[in-house]
Amino acid sequence: MELKIILGVFLPIAIISLLVSLSVANIGLSVQKAVVSSVSKNQLFVSQDSQRTGIQIMTMTLSNDFFMPSKYELPRLIACLNDRENLKAGQQLQLRYSEGIDERNVPVYGDLFLDYNAVSRQGVELSSNSKKDVKILLDPLTLYNYDQEIESYMPYDAILLLELKNNHQYYYNLCENLNSDELSAAVSIQISN
């Protein structure tokens, strides 16, 4: 009787617990990141009449070589305009991500990457033995009076891409208050003419 209880109750619970543990362990999951070296000012600063398309600044290639599906939690990123001469305070830019394209060959966009309330995280589902590219896209800044406003953006010479840690609660003015550790950990993308 005791053997039946062990085989009927405890063995299935042990197998289910093992499978759940394996699925969250991210065994066989690898991530490769490729960041562009520069973005042109014409792409980054656009007039209100021009078409707004996301600027691809990073590609993350996710590979799951395990026999079970996996979920990868995307890093919390923030992009800041940076002026190396410190003539202007840093300004925050909006980021989006794209997991792929739909049947009409249109990029599929997720929610805004930046989470002001620090509540939710974005994740990507990977089936067993699969690969997926996630593109990080930067929304260009729309200048409503382009000829007058563009001069105020000329001092910016780089975009800083930062991975936010969990100790930040609110991200509203984070670009204006970057400390030296955050600046040294940031990936710099040049703004070219």
Contacts of 60 (CB under 8 A, 6+ apart): 31, 32, 33, 34, 74, 133, 134, 135, 136
45: in domain: yes
19: in domain: no
100: in domain: yes
Distance CA 162, CA 19 (A): 35
pTM of the model: 0.74
What residues make up the domain containing 52? 28-192
13: in domain: no
Indicate the number of domains in the chain: 1
54: in domain: yes
Mean pLDDT (whole number) for 4-10: 76
Instruction: Provide the Cα torsion 121, 89, 56, 143; round to 10°.
Output: 110
pLDDT digits (tens, 9 = 90+) for 147-159: 888 888 888 889 9
Tallying the residues shown for the chain, one arrives at 193
CATH code at position 45: 2.60.40
107: in domain: yes
pLDDT digits (tens, 9 = 90+) for 76-133: 888 888 887 776 777 888 888 887 654 444 455 444 344 444 445 677 888 888 888 8
Among 26, 43, 1, CA closest to 128? 26
DSSP-derived secondary structure letter, 145: T
